[in-house]
């Protein structure tokens, strides 16, 4: 009775071609019986494929060599059946032929051709194209046809060959709703685009899942020759809008910005310059189309001029301003004019653009948006600029722009700057006499101090200067926020953030997340947000309460419960939000010491556990750092002897935690022995 490794290679190929799906579990069966088993089993394909795939990709080293006394099963994948050695040691040509014949999802030739065009180094395409069972329009496991895959990989000869087949349909969409034409444009392959446009079933107005036509994609990718070719098609619509309301002209401007901001690090300056020039040429081609309307608004209300101003694209803005159909006073959804979004741009290119806009008829530096925001709100409401803002600010003030004008959302330009983390501009406004309105409360009862301590990695020195000025103005130190509470422990890798957690959502303005899931004073944010001990010292020296309670959400038994906890407990929750560990205490060790020095209590008169109780429980689980820190740096000022005695009595009943008991007794003797 021959074992399966004795089968002729052609017979084994036949087994693969049958695409059986069950494991061959008995190598002692006769050859005929093994063949029958392979042809009827249900898991054979799933068993063999993981071995064949890495072998085809020349990753044989990741496979454990087969051993004669083991078989491969779905639950025992680390061992190979004896006959698989034939595949691991086979000549490359035979191995590829074998594996290609095995792929019959939806048909052996379709799936195999898709693999062949994605791996052209194997030279398998021609062989697959002559397969009698090849269907150029059959969808594979990812919803893509062989024709789509050939286009996606830029395989022109294969595309031409497939299009000659009677069943070929070049209109069938693949992933993301892309048709083969979309995909050819996406990879900027002009020859394939030309071939596809000759097909009667290809429609240049077909949209993908984002409602983008091929022209949208050509515009974004600055595919100049493809854009020209698409614009020559009779049915093309240069004013069509995608799901965001963006026209091909909007997309072309966005694509030019993408080149400027996101070029690969390996690109040389000359390459980037060429790409930027091609993008500008693409925009010129679109603008030259007789049916082009260059003043259409997207769903955010932005015209192409708004978009150029938003990114500080001086050259594109100049092209648009020369046209008679472009309104330099057009307003977006919140009433922003191009001038407003231009001053929000951080790029040094924006300054020249601002001057050009102010030369336009009807554009006034005193103009406000629909919510009463001035040009000062927009300068301050984004990140600090690479251009000098002082001349623009002085001109605005001289022309009558109020420095303390409040928008309908309750923000001055100073508040807008702090909300955006633009502390250099906030300092400038304060130096020019802006009133900080230190008693002002914002969304979720945030004070200016709360906003200042929201995490922002830039301009800490300027922020500290702003905080010092606010404290000097008499701002309240110990006010509480009132945000919507959320689960503090769940899904920290994917926090649920919606626009309601921000102060506002306006194009051209930055707005921080101001709902942090806790009711707390600004002092807590120096640990949970800014992580800057100098900020904590500043507040403590100004009279911040180191024992202010914190209300926090915690998941218990599948439900979120809200608890009022001691201040140090809130710090602990922050440190252990991803689970307790000794290491997680290290970043806050100095904060804990400072708080204890200023009188933070490790006992608690509320309904929950005290910080000392929580530290003891953590120590039970061998996370001892928190307890050590509390006991090493606490004095009688931080805890009552009564509370320590209660814990000692509790742990006297827990002999398994004698170490915790010993530490508590030593602490009591050291602190209360006199």
Shortest CA distance to 253 belongs to which of 187, 311, 182?
A: 311
Q: Which residues contact 394 (CB under 8 A, 6 or more apart)?
A: none
Q: Quick one: pLDDT at residue 585?
A: 73
Q: Which pTM was predicted?
A: 0.77
Handedness of CA 394, 395, 400, 401 (dihedral sign): negative
Euclidean distance between CA atoms 114 and 116, whole angstroms: 5
Q: Rounded to the nearest 5°, which phi and psi values hold at 13?
A: -55, -40
Shortest CA distance to 292 belongs to which of 247, 328, 245, 337?
A: 247
Please say whether the beta carbons of 570 and 524 come within 8 A: yes
User: Tokens 């978009």 appear where?
Assistant: 307
> How buried is 335 (Cβ within 10 angstroms: 0-12 exposed, 13-18 middle, 19+ buried)?
middle
Q: Which residues contact 287 (CB under 8 A, 6 or more apart)?
A: 249, 294, 319, 320, 323
Could you tell me whether strands 559-565 and 550-556 are parallel, antiparallel, or unpaired per DSSP bridges?
antiparallel
Q: Rounded to the nearest 5°, which phi and psi values hold at 306?
A: -55, -45
Q: Rounded to the nearest 5°, which phi and psi values hold at 142?
A: -105, 15
- Cα separations in angstroms, 96 against 48, 112, 124, 128: 14, 10, 8, 11
Half-sphere exposure of 173 (CA within 13 A, CB side): 13
User: Tokens 């309904």 appear where?
Assistant: 607
DSSP character for 137? T
Please say whether the beta carbons of 565 and 606 come within 8 A: yes
Please say whether the beta carbons of 144 and 175 come within 8 A: yes
Q: Which two tokens stand for residue 573?
A: 């929750």
Q: Is 203 left (phi over 0), alpha (psi -120 to 50) or beta?
A: beta
Q: Indicate the domain borders of the chain.
A: 4-102, 577-672
Please say whether the beta carbons of 36 and 65 come within 8 A: no
Type and span of the H or E element at 556? strand 550-556
Q: Helix 31-40 vs helix 9-18: angle between axes, to the nearest 10 degrees?
A: 20
Low-confidence ranges of the chain (pLDDT < 50): 1-96, 98-108, 264-265, 487-497
> How buried is 210 (Cβ within 10 angstroms: 0-12 exposed, 13-18 middle, 19+ buried)?
middle
3-state helix, strand, coil in the chain (%, to 5): 50, 5, 45
Q: Helix 589-597 vs helix 567-575: angle between axes, to the nearest 10 degrees?
A: 180
Q: Quick one: pLDDT at residue 106?
A: 37
User: Tokens 């000025």 appear where?
Assistant: 469
Bond preceding residue 106 cis, omega within 30 of 0: yes
Burial 61-90 (b: 16+ CB within 10 A, else e): eeeeebeeeebbeeeeeeebbbbbebbbeb
Strand partners, 76: 73
Q: Which two tokens stand for residue 214?
A: 């091929």
Please say whether the beta carbons of 567 and 620 come within 8 A: no
Q: Quick one: pLDDT at residue 128?
A: 72
End-to-end CA distance of the chain: 92
Please say whether the beta carbons of 254 and 287 come within 8 A: no
Euclidean distance between CA atoms 432 and 397, whole angstroms: 10
Euclidean distance between CA atoms 598 and 567, whole angstroms: 12
The stretches of 84-179 forming alpha helices (DSSP H) are 85-88, 92-102, 108-118, 125-129, 146-152, 156-163
Q: What is the 3-state secondary structure (H, E, C) of 419-473?
A: HHCCHHHHHHHHHCCCCCCCCCCCHHHCCHHHHHCCCCCCCHHHHHHHHHHHHHC
Q: Quick one: pLDDT at residue 660?
A: 95
Over residues 555-611, the pLDDT tens digits come to 666 666 778 889 998 888 777 665 555 556 778 889 999 999 999 999 988 778 899
User: Tokens 């556990």 appear where?
Assistant: 609
The H helix count followed by the E strand count for the chain is 33, 3
Euclidean distance between CA atoms 296 and 626, whole angstroms: 60
Shortest CA distance to 281 belongs to which of 311, 308, 322, 315?
A: 315
Please say whether the beta carbons of 332 and 302 come within 8 A: yes
Euclidean distance between CA atoms 104 and 95, whole angstroms: 16
Q: Which two tokens stand for residue 28?
A: 């002692």
DSSP character for 553? E
Q: What is the DSSP string of 225-271?
A: HHHHHHHTSTT--TT---TTS--HHHHHHHHHHHHHHH--TT--HHH
């Amino acid at each position: 009775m021959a074992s399966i490794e004795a089968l002729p290679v052609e017979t084994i190929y036949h087994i693969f071609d049958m695409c059986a799906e069950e494991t061959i579990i008995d190598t002692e069966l006769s050859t005929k019986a093994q063949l029958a088993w392979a042809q009827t089993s249900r898991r054979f394909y799933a068993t063999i494929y993981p071995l064949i795939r890495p072998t085809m990709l020349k990753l044989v080293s990741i496979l454990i060599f087969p051993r004669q006394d083991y078989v491969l099963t779905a639950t025992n994948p680390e061992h190979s059946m004896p006959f698989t050695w034939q595949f691991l040691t086979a000549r490359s040509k035979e191995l590829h032929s074998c594996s290609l014949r095995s792929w019959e999802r939806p048909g052996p030739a379709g799936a195999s051709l898709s693999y062949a065009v994605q791996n052209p180094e194997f030279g398998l395409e021609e062989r697959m194209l002559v397969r009698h069972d090849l269907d150029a329009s059959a969808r594979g496991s990812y919803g893509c046809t062989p024709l789509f895959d050939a286009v996606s990989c830029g395989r022109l000869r294969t595309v031409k060959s497939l299009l000659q087949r009677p069943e070929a349909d070049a209109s069938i969409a693949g992933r993301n709703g892309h048709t083969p034409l979309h995909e050819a444009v996406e990879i900027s392959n002009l020859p394939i685009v030309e071939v596809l446009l000759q097909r009667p079933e290809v429609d240049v107005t077909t949209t993908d899942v984002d409602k983008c036509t091929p022209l949208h994609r050509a515009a974004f990718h600055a595919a100049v020759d493809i854009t020209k070719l698409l614009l020559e098609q009779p049915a093309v619509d240069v004013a069509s809008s995608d799901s965001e309301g963006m026209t091909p002209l909007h997309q072309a401007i966005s694509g030019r910005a993408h080149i400027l901001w996101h070029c690969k690090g390996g690109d040389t300056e000359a390459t980037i310059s060429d790409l930027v020039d091609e993008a500008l040429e693409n925009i010129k081609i679109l603008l030259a189309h007789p049916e082009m309307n260059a003043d259409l608004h997207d769903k955010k209300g932005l015209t192409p001029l708004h978009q150029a101003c938003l990114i500080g694209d001086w050259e594109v803005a100049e092209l648009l301003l020369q046209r008679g159909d472009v309104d330099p006073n057009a307003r977006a959804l919140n009433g922003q004019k191009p001038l407003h979004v231009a001053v929000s741009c951080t790029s040094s290119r924006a300054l020249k653009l601002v001057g050009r806009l102010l030369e336009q008829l009807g554009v006034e530096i005193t103009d406000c948006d629909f919510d009463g925001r001035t040009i000062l709100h927009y300068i301050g409401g984004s990140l600090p600029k690479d251009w000098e803002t002082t001349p623009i600010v002085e001109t605005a003030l001289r022309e009558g722009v109020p420095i303390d004008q409040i928008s309908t959302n309750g923000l001055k330009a100073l508040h807008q700057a702090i909300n955006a983390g633009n502390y250099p501009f906030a300092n400038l406004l304060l130096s020019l006499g802006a009133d900080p309105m230190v008693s002002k409360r914002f969304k979720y009862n945030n004070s200016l101090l709360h906003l200042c301590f929201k995490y922002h990695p830039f301009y800490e020195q300027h922020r500290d200067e702003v905080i010092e000025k606010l404290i000097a103005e008499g701002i309240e130190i110990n006010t509480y926020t009132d945000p919507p509470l959320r689960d503090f422990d769940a899904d920290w890798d994917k926090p649920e953030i919606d626009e309601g957690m921000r102060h506002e959502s306006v194009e051209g303005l930055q707005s921080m997340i101001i709902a942090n899931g806790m009711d707390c004073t600004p002092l807590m944010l120096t640990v949970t947000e800014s992580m800057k001990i100098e900020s904590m010292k500043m507040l403590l020296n100004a009279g911040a309460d180191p024992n202010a309670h914190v209300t926090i959400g915690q998941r218990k038994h599948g439900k979120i419960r809200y608890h009022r906890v001691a201040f140090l407990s809130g710090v602990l929750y922050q440190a252990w939000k991803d689970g307790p560990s000794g290491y997680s205490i290290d970043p806050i060790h100095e904060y804990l010491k400072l708080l204890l020095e200023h009188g933070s209590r490790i006992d608690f008169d509320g309904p929950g556990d005290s910080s000392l109780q929580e530290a003891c429980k953590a120590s039970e689980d061998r996370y001892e750092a928190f307890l050590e820190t509390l006991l090493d740096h606490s004095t009688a000022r931080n805890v009552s002897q009564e509370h320590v005695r209660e814990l000692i009595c509790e742990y006297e009943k827990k002999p398994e935690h004698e170490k915790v008991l010993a530490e508590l007794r030593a602490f009591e003797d050291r602190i209360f022995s006199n």
